[in-house]
Amino acid sequence: MREPAATQQTSTSHVVARWCAEQGWPVHPLSPGRKTPTANCQACKDKHHSPAGCACIPAGRPCHGFHAATTSATRINAWWSQRPSCGVGVACGGADLIVIDIDAHSAPVPDRGRLLPGIPIHDSVNLHGLASGFDTLALLAALRGQPSPAQDDSTLRVRTPSGGLHVWYRNPYPATRFRCSTGSSPKVALAWQVDVRADGGYIVAPTTRTADGTYLREGPSHLPAPLPEWLGEELVRTGHTIRRPPVSSRPAIISRRRTRTPVRAHRVLDPLLLEVAECAATSEGAAFTEKLNKAAYTAGGLAAAGHLDEPAARALLREAAETARPWQSARNERIIDDALAAGSARPLHLEGRS
């Protein structure tokens, strides 16, 4: 995000809000000098109603925080013209953003079993010096053989007044939604002192000023990069998904018949495709890679023997894989390509099969 220059008529926050809206990111005002949304109107305060039943939001009033976030230039101009000192909040869900919020708070380090939820850290691992979310996120990345997102200069990063860091990513697969979490949660957390901002939350835009300081862009990148595949897998593993593609007893992608593919070939391939699609029911431990590899290898053999049209078989494999693991499309493609090629070297003949 390029820090815009304000004019005499337009505050920096107003310019930033309009710029965010141009990226397709809904915005809402933050209270002047704070990182929290502006207060509701008196009627909303008195009624304590839900955002869904609020008459203020359709009327264009910024009640209920990120629920009122908009990309409407008319509303944005009205809000920040009336209160130019308001900061800018971005509704993560509406913007398809996933922000890794790394904290550096002074707090007692918890038991090692709570540092990386779901990952036991053996007593032999030296944790001397571990003190913040920067350390736990680096530890998680190291265990996965990946660089820490805190060092990812390919994406927008924002330094917070408290010394933390917001790492902005774009959700490359919007059909898969992610929930917010706090690093101290005993239920859903990515790592200690590492929060996640996604659906149901907002993030403070760069240049917003608070009593503690200013949120400042750090590094060369001005826009969010796609969420790394490994990090998406970690979010799934730690229970951050809130909506998954529906799984039927027999997905439609398998029951459809291509006019150029024989029924006998589908009798062999369909059960394998079903096993792949049913991996959507669990985020790990389903042997997804092995099942997709087997299905693609079989499809390659069938295609090489002339029983299947290869492009049609590839389409079926993609659909099954996307049903189960939509957040790792690139990896799915590699598995399919490799297994199809291997299978095509060994044509699978169906003579004698019923």
The dihedrals phi and psi of 347, each to the nearest 5 degrees, come to: -50, 135
* Residue numbers in the chain where pLDDT is lower than 50: 3, 6-9, 245, 247-261, 353-354
Using CB atoms within 10 Å of the CB of residue 226, give its burial: 0 to 12 exposed, 13 to 18 middle, 19+ buried.
middle
| pLDDT in the model for residue 126 | 85
- Over residues 254-298, the pLDDT tens digits come to 444 343 446 778 888 989 998 898 888 776 677 888 899 999 999
pLDDT at 278: 85
Percent of the chain with pLDDT over 90: 53
Domains of the chain: 1-91 (no CATH), 96-243 (3.30.2250), 252-344 (no CATH)
pTM more than 0.85:
no
Q: What is the pLDDT of residue 283?
A: 67
Beta bridge partners of 168: 99
pLDDT digits (tens, 9 = 90+) for 31-57: 999 999 998 888 888 877 788 878 888
- % of the chain beyond a pLDDT of 70: 90
DSSP string, 285-341: SS-HHHHHHHHHHHHHHHHHTTSS-HHHHHHHHHHHHHHH-GGGHHHHHHHHHHHHH
Predicted local distance difference test score (pLDDT) of residue 2: 55
Q: What pLDDT was estimated at residue 248?
A: 47
The reported pLDDT for the residue numbered 52 is: 80
Beta carbons of 137 and 100 less than 8 angstroms apart: yes
**Confidence at residue 262, expressed as pLDDT on a 0 to 100 scale:** 60
- Token reading at 187: 């239920």
> What are 32's two structure tokens?
């002047």
For residue 80, CA distances in Å to 43, 61, 89 come to 21, 12, 12
**Residue 111 CB-half CA count within 13 A:** 6
Tell me how crowded residue 230 is: count the other CB atoms within 10 A of its CB. 15
Q: How far apart are CA 230 and CA 336, in angstroms?
A: 19
